[in-house]
Amino acid sequence: MRVLITGGAGFLGSHLCERFLAEGHTVVAMDNLITGSTDNIAHLIGNERFSFIKHNVSNYIYLDGPVDAVLHFASPASPNDYLEHPIHTLKVGSLGTLNTIGLAKAKGARYLLASTSEVYGDPQVNPQPESYWGHVNPIGPRGVYDEAKRFAEAMTMAYQRYHGVETRIVRIFNTYGPRMRLNDGRVVPNFIKQALLGEPLTVYMGGQQTRSFQYCSDLVEGVYRLLFSDERLPVNIGNPNEMTIVDFAREVIRISGSSSEIHYVEPTDERITDDPKVRRPDISKARRVLGWEPVVGLEAGLRKTLDYFRGRV
Ligand code: UDP
């Protein structure tokens, strides 16, 4: 297959490029490098089945030749990034989805949308099954990401129903691993960087809010299976191992062998506005329709991520 991966120079996009190349496919990565980096794909340049195009997919996309699958992974994905780039975030989820799914329609390609657990907002149901409609504040700082992704899902379903495009939607829960940006502001790189430097781990809002962290190779496996499955409705892909943020901080300190302390801080900016109090995927559907479940535990995943960050702090 010839596969277009938008956001291909990003954290998850670059891991997907590797996987599709390893399976023998041809990959075109597209990225405008706002939050992605060519460092993430430098090792793929030279592979004759790989090419990179620097382009903002919120603008019209021209791509020569056949395309068999389009995976739309381009978007700022860290709360800090979408606070810094609110309009780009809205555009890539709306116009970027329109352009990429329009390309899929024109090429007769299968389409896979990277959606997010943020479509559930600050959920009032825990864990979150795909049938939950969510609890999103459209005008808060996270609204630019959450609503763009909700719009993207609506657009994807409309192209499926109205134009008959073969579409897939993955709702991605917190994912971590090598190639996250050290300074993207998310909890995993923040805590790892702080632990490696012996600085205090900055736990926001008392640390009783929960998240469930998935290692990137599990996500890639889930996405790969979903693309080739017959499932046309959204599927959660995440690790159901839910923990409080303060417990997560303790795990990072323990696994890294750091002497860092935990500091409770109250950011005064918009970073924590509408911060979800709980988050945990219900993955029964992924188990049922994809035969998928995560296989990398937190300790193993964090060790690999620590190795990556050790050379970079
Ligand atoms: N968080 C924290 N300290 C940090 C960064 C984040 O306590 O240095 C908290 C944040 O308030 C949130 C959780 O960790 O409750 C996960 O935040 P992240 O930015 O990774 O992404 P989110 O899951 O909110 O999209």
Alpha-carbon span 190 to 25, nearest angstrom: 35
Is 72 within 8 Å of 113 (Cβ atoms)? Answer: yes
Mutate to test the pocket of ligand 1, among 245, 264, 268, 280 (most ligand atoms within 8 A of CB): 245
The CATH class that applies to domain 187-209+242-280+299-310 reads: alpha beta
Residue 215 phi/psi, 5° resolution?
-80, 145
- Closest C-alpha residue for ligand 1 atom 13: 187
What's the chain's Rg over C-alpha atoms? 19
CATH class given for the domain over 2-175+215-239+281-295? alpha beta
d(CA 91, CA 183): 23
Say yes or no: CB of residue 175 within 6 Å of ligand 1.
no
Q: Which helix (H) or strand (E) holds 236?
A: strand 235-237
- 105 vs 166: CA distance, rounded Å: 9
Q: Would residue 162 show up in a list of annotated catalytic residues for this protein?
A: no
Query: Measured between alpha carbons, how far is 28 from 70 in angstroms, rounded to an integer?
Result: 10
* Domain spans, the chain: 2-175+215-239+281-295, 187-209+242-280+299-310
Q: Residue 202: CB within 6 Å of ligand 1?
A: yes
Is it true that 2-175+215-239+281-295 and 187-209+242-280+299-310 share their CATH fold? Answer: no
Residue among 171, 201, 263, 275 whose CB has most ligand 1 atoms within 8 A, to mutate = 275
> Is 113 within 8 Å of 168 (Cβ atoms)?
yes
Beta carbons within 10 angstroms of residue 163's beta carbon: 12
Ligand 1 proximity of 190 Cβ (cutoff 6 Å): yes
The verdict on pTM exceeding 0.95 is: yes
Tell me if 61 CB under 6 Å of ligand 1: no
Residue 60 is classified by DSSP as -
Q: What is the DSSP letter of 205?
A: G
Tell me, using a 6 A CB cutoff, whether residue 211 lines ligand 1.
yes
**Averaged pLDDT, groups of 10, the chain, 313 residues long:** 98 98 98 98 97 98 97 96 95 98 98 98 98 97 97 98 98 98 96 98 97 98 98 98 98 98 90 92 98 98 98 91
Of 89, 128, 145, 187, best ligand 1 pocket probe by most atoms within 8 Å of the beta carbon: 187
**CB 275 less than 6 A from any atom of ligand 1:** yes
For 106, other C-beta atoms within 10 Å of its C-beta total 11
Q: CB of 203 closer than 6 A to ligand 1?
A: yes
Count other C-beta atoms under 10 Å from residue 98's C-beta.
18
Give the per-residue pLDDT at 164.
98
CB 270 within 8 A of CB 143: no
Per-residue model confidence (pLDDT) at position 226: 98
Q: Are 252 and 301 in contact (CB under 8 A)?
A: no
Catalytic residue among 145, 159, 176, 224: 145
Q: Are 35 and 10 in contact (CB under 8 A)?
A: yes
In terms of DSSP H, where are the helices of 53-140?
A: 79-84, 86-107
Per-residue CA distances from 202 to 52, 194, 259 (Å)? 37, 8, 14
- For residue 118, which atom of ligand 1 is closest to its CA? 25
